[in-house]
Structures are given as structure tokens and as C-alpha cells.
A and B are shown apart, each in its own frame.
Chain A
Amino acid sequence: MAIDTTSYDPRNLHLPDGEILSSGHLACPGCGAALGMRLALKALGPNTMVVIPACCWAVINGPYPFQALSVPVLQVAFETAAISASGIRAALDAQGQKDINVVAWAGDGGTFDIGFQSLSGAVERNDDIIYFCYDNEAYMNTGIQRSSATPYGAWTTTTPVETPKAEPKKNMVEIMVEHRIPYTATASIAFPEDFVRKVEKAKGIPGAKFIHLWISCPAGHKSEERNSVKIARLAVETGVFPLYEVEYGTRYTINHEPAFTDVNAYLELQGRFRHLTEEHVEAMRRNLRWEWERLRAKVEMGRKLSLPPTGVRGAVDEGERTSR
């Protein structure tokens, strides 16, 4: 059950012109991570410093002495993306350098798993950084192993088809939301204007920002390169990956009301789900309904709640409150 893609003519997109990612990078054909970085940097602009821990992008950017990005990049240890961004921010502050975006760009393994502790520390301190998790739902750089971002039912090399992943994906966005940071958002490479808007919004908010970007991975999802954007769009339109943003852990906004295309349309384009039975798929449908029930309840709750009070570190400051 395909969806109509003709209405998404990329020539009609309104995106910033600047390009910070150059050609000649080392991403696989159809890589969503390369497209994601390109879009993020269009929004961030040249006054940006990027931290990249171990992840596909540690390779994509190119080997010494080359790099594909025309902004300063610091490659760091796997589990240190968030604190490394915090350290750069502290150093810039100490040297009186302002108006520089400090960005961490980490995969799902570096965010959901090994980098989780350092990320929690950085956002708890409300350090002034934008943390991007580009999520392809497994350890793709090491050759497709399960992470805690891998969805229920998926094949990976460590969850073979005989025992596919039995647990649902960890809800990283809600974990960030519960740190009550100023801004948390999901985004998709198939919705570039929405993504760019969110990055531009994050740039203007002091404190910790977390953007969870869903990306396709032909090598790891066992999908066709030409379908990368289509699969990313179906992740949203089937309701698997909702596009929403949360301010101060309180105010939820759903940015795109999905068509709720049947989840099979999303699954059938990816070899990692080929082994699934109708029973598995039915379990997924039930889970999707339950997740959306929860999400809509949070939207409702957020409407009734006021933003956090002033006077507590990390809460809305007065100036910002009145500008909203």
C-alpha cells in the first residue's frame, strides 16, 4: 500500500541555500545520515562547531587529512558526545566567544546506549548545546548489531531471524522530556522543512536541546537506496515515528498528523522485517495504537499545564516567557 509521493516534489522545498557538507564524503549511497547532516548544517550555518563520536559519521566525514564539512569538527570517544559539546561550550564561554552553535552529532548507539550517561549529565546541567541523535535503529557502523533503539521484531546480526528483537524501542525522546530541558523534538529526513525549522528554533533557545532524527540506512535496513526518503516518510505516515516537539517537558505539539497508512507499507520495503508473521505485524499495530493514545494524552495534558515556574534553574526565564 504505497503512498503518493508526487506531491513531495523537492523542487518545491524552501531550504537555506548554504552548503556546509561538500561532495566526496564517504557515506553509502542512499544514506540518511549524510542527508540529515546536510540539512542540519544548512540550518545551523557556518558559525558551528560539531562533535562527532564513534558512529557512521566518524567515517563519512573522511580520513585524515580530509574532511567533508567546512566547519570545525572534533571527533571524540564513543560515549562522550554530549560532554564533549559541553566542554567546547565552556571553553568558548571562557574565551568570550559568543554566537557559536555547539552541536553533538551521535548515532543511536552513542545516544541510547553507551553515551546515555554523559547525555543525561549534560542535559541535566542544561548545558547550552544542540544534541542530535541520528537514529538508524542499530549499530550500523560496526555491521548491524542490535541497540536499544532497534524496534520490536527487527532482524540484526545479534538478533537473528530465529530470535528477532523481542523488546520495543527505548523512548529516548520521553527520557529527554523528563529532564525538563527547554526543547526536545523529533524530525525526519523526509520532512526537511520541518527539520530545518526545528534546528533554527533550537539555535535560538539557550540551554540543552535534543533533536531525534530518524534516518534510513539501506545497508542496515536491507532496503533499496532509492527508497531511503520514501521509507523515512512512511515511518512518519504509518505512525511508527511521530513528528512532535516538546517545550520544557510540558508543552507537546504534533507537527504532522500522519495518514496512518498501514504499517505493512513501511515494513515491506525493508528486509530487516521480512521474517515477520502476520501475528508480529498485528502486535505492532496494537502497539502503535497504544503509543499514539499515550502521545495524544500528553498533548492534552500539556495544554492544561502551565510552563514550569521561574526561579528554578532550567525553567523558562521571564523574557522568554513573555515572548512566547
Chain B
Amino acid sequence: MRMVVKGNGAVAHAVRLSRAQVVSAYPITPQTSIIEEIATMVAKGQLDARFIKVESEHSALAGCISASSAGARAFTATSAQGLALMHELIHWAAGARLPIVLANVNRAMAPGWSIWTDQNDSLSQRDTGWMQIYCESSQEVVDSVIQAFKVSERVLLPTMVVLDAFFLSHTFEDVEMPEQEVVDSFLPPLELPHKMDLAHPAALGNLVFPDRYMEFRRKMDLAHDLALGVWDEVGREWGQLTGRTYRIVEEYRMDGAELVLVTAATAGSTARPVVDQLREAGVPVGLVRLRVFRPFPASILRSLLGGRAKVLVLDRNCSFGHHGIFHQEVKSALYDLPQAEQPRVCGVIAGLGGRDITPDDLEEMLTGVWKDRITDPVTWWDVLSAQDPAKAALAMS
């Protein structure tokens, strides 16, 4: 069925189609309309779920953790400060090997207060053991939430489905909404192997001594290794059912590309026409959009980027004191290539706090790198201050 929905509405419909059983959530802009729509669906009987209207994001995820431990399919959504407040339990959900799905609407961290998009909130949770998937369109949001439940329940790791504030969360788009029967055939009811069970009473989460702890962590890491293949398999299976196949990494016009733009999320939509335009102008440019970020598709990136002349990584985030986060990850993956096949990698940090990244920006970045006008390892794009970096670092305004 075709529907016109916002990115947030796409999440809500996908949660409904996935038959989530427990939703535990707390409002925060720009995520709020996800849980508003779910609350309405539950109230109208369109979704047979228990919705726990908690008093904080910390409790939102704690409620999902215990509900999932008791065998229910659990969902929550948040943004920025809310995700940061959950941080303790973000680790907990992954360590407890619970297939929770969380939609995070990327929003910049305070201070100063910002409700607009950037990726530092979700990327600050990179090392927690969650899988992360960055979406470009409402269609991809619908399809990814449903796939996320499937992959999570196969490998017993939680998934964070990430979408840009406003550019995606609040933008109406035409979406092919899958039929319930299709989703049911794709996503069977959850059978959590370690769920709380009166017939088999066990203690979950108790004290683990040094002789055992590391084994649990090794298993988490092995599950991530396994998950990469599962994402690929599940993306193809979804394609057979709906005609929309999903890849771990999406490539565009990579044939003969000598300069490759690597980015994630809605910047991918902005980039495609720019790539077309530059190709027409004779610049051999291609696009790689990171979709699944954890587990990290290092070998896929090596095969896509090895032997190209130049790579430009566009980050809507920053690891202060180092590079953009996608940039450092891509660069570390490419280090394993033979030296002759290693492209030169430049990073651009742009669009923090919701600043627009326009087609003109992208064209300027790409031609800049192509013509060696941009050669620094990291460039902060379109920043007014910092003419004298030493002075700027210490100035408070």
C-alpha cells in the first residue's frame, strides 16, 4: 500500500507491522512523533502492544531490557540527550544479548541546545555492542526497522536504526508500506532462547568473575562478525519479498570512479545528483553510502575503495581531537590494503547542529579534492571562526 509518511511515521508503521509487544518510551524532540503515533496505534487497537509511558529515557530502555528478558519483542525511540541518558543501559542491552530495536533520530548534543541533526549522539554509542544502521529515506526506514528485528533476533544483539532529524524525521515522502502478511512471513514471533522462564529458573545478569567475563564479550564480538552476513542475507530476502533489496553498503556510479565520496544517511540523497553532474563534467566520481555501520563492513569497503585514487569521507560528526568518526573508521579499514592500492583519504566535517549540506557544498568539496585544492587530512566545512586556530581554541564565543 502506498502511503505518504514522515520518517518518524515510517518508524511507527514499521513497529506496528513488526508486531512489537512492549514499547517503553519517553518523549524528546525530534523523536516524539514516533511514540505519539505508536501510542495512537495501541489506543486504537491497531498494535497489540503494552506501552509503558515511563518517566525518563533511562527507564525507557530499562523497561525494554526487562520486557525483552521476559520474552517480548521490545521497541523504544529517542534522540541525543535521551540516548546519552540511556548510555549505561545501552551497554546493558547488548551485554544481555537482547534483540531490542531502538530508533534514534540523530540530533546534536547540548550545550548549546540544538534540536537539529548531527551524528555525535549515535556515534558516541559506537563501542557498546549495538548494531547501527543509518537510513536515507522513509522507505529505507520502514524496511530497515523490520529487517532490524529479524537480524537482532537471529544474532541476539540490539539494533539502533538511525535517521536524521527533520531532513528525514519530519519530511513527508511516498512510501510503499508492506502488507502485514508479507511482514509476518518474513518475521516470525520472537523465541528468545534465554528468556525468563518459571519452568527453568535461572539468574540473568549476575556476578561474573574474571575467569568467565571475557568469554561473554568474545561471544558478543563473534555475533557481530556473524551479523554482517545476516544483514546481507536478510536484505536480499526482503528484496525477494518486496522487490527492494538492501545492501550493507550502497554504491552509486562506482564504475571507473577514481574519486569516491563516502558518507551516510540523507547526505547520500544530496550527493547522487551531484555525482551525476560531475560525471557529466568529466570528473570520475562515485558514491559509497554506509548503511550498516556496526558491524563495520571493513572488507566490503576495502574491495570498493581499494585501487581508487582518492576518497573523500563526509562526516556529520566529529571525534574531537581526531577526525570525523566515519573518516577514521574508513581510513583504518584501508590501511590493510597493499600500499599501491591505498587511496588518498581526505575528511570533511560538515553539517553539525543541523547546518545544511547543499549540493553546491558537495560539488565544491569533490572538485576541491579532485583538483588538489583540498589536501588536508581534515577540513571543517563552512566554519566562520577559527582564522587563528590557537586564539579560537581558547575563545568562548
Give residues in A with beta carbon < 8 Å to B.
46-47, 49, 51, 58-59, 61-64, 66-67, 69-77, 79-80, 83-88, 90-95, 100, 117-118, 120-121, 124-125, 127
Contact = CB atoms under 8 A, between A and B. Distances in A.
A80 B58 contact: yes
B23 to A, nearest CB: 9
Contacts of A88: 66-67, 69-70, 196
A64 to B, nearest CB: 5
B90 to A, nearest CB: 11
B203 A90 contact: no
A88 to B, nearest CB: 5
A96 B226 CA distance: 33
Contacts of B64: 87
B78 to A, nearest CB: 15
Interface stretch (B48-56, B131-139, B256-264, B335-343): B48-56
Given A64-B212, A72-B198, A90 B207 contact: no
Contacts of B65: 76, 80, 84, 87
B168 interface: no
List 6 tightest A-B contacts by C-beta distance, closest first. Answer: A87-B66, A121-B55, A91-B72, A91-B70, A75-B205, A67-B203
A95 B208 CA distance: 30
B324 interface: no
Contacts of A86: 52, 63, 66
Which size class do B's interface residues fall under?
35 or more
Contacts of A118: 54-56, 58-59, 62
30 contacts: A47-B198, A49-B70, A62-B203, A63-B207, A64-B206, A64-B212, A66-B203, A69-B201, A71-B198, A71-B201, A72-B202, A73-B201, A75-B205, A75-B206, A79-B58, A80-B62, A83-B24, A84-B62, A84-B65, A84-B66, A87-B74, A88-B69, A90-B24, A90-B52, A91-B21, A91-B22, A91-B70, A91-B72, A120-B55, A121-B56
Contact of B69 (A74, A95, A121, A125): A74
A180 to B, nearest CB: 17
A24 to B, nearest CB: 13
Contacts of A51: 66
B219 to A, nearest CB: 13
B68 interface: yes
Nearest to B56: A117
B388 interface: no
B197 interface: yes
A86 B22 CA distance: 11
Given A61-B203, A94-B72, A87 B67 contact: yes
A95 B71 CA distance: 8
Given A88-B196, A91-B72, A93-B50, A72 B56 contact: no
A66 B24 CA distance: 31
Nearest to A71: B201
B149 to A, nearest CB: 15
Contacts of B63: 83-84, 86-87, 90
Contact of A83 (B49, B66, B69, B201): B66
Given A49-B70, A58-B206, A87-B24, 17 more contacts: A67-B202, A71-B201, A72-B197, A72-B198, A75-B205, A77-B88, A80-B65, A80-B66, A83-B59, A86-B52, A87-B74, A88-B66, A90-B52, A90-B67, A94-B48, A95-B71, A95-B72
Nearest to B196: A72
A91 B67 CA distance: 5
A96 to B, nearest CB: 11
Contacts of A75: 203-206
Given A80-B59, A83-B54, A49 B88 contact: no
A165 to B, nearest CB: 28
B201 A72 contact: yes
B103 to A, nearest CB: 18
A87 B71 CA distance: 11
Contact of A94 (B50, B202, B212): B50
Contacts of B74: 87, 91
B92 interface: yes
A122 B202 CA distance: 25
A90 B202 contact: no
Contacts of A74: 66, 69-70, 196, 203-205
A121 B59 contact: yes
A10 to B, nearest CB: 28
Contacts of A58: 206-207
A201 B56 CA distance: 31
Contact of A77 (B49, B62, B204, B209): B62
Nearest to A118: B59
Contact of A73 (B21, B54, B55, B204): B204
B89 interface: yes
Interface in B292-349: none
Given A74-B66, A88-B70, A125-B52, A100 B198 contact: yes
Contacts of A69: 201, 203
A77 B59 CA distance: 10
Contact of B70 (A64, A76, A87): A87
A213 B205 CA distance: 25
B181 to A, nearest CB: 21
> Which of the listed residues B74, B202, B212 has the most CB atoms from chain A within 10 Å of its own CB?
B202
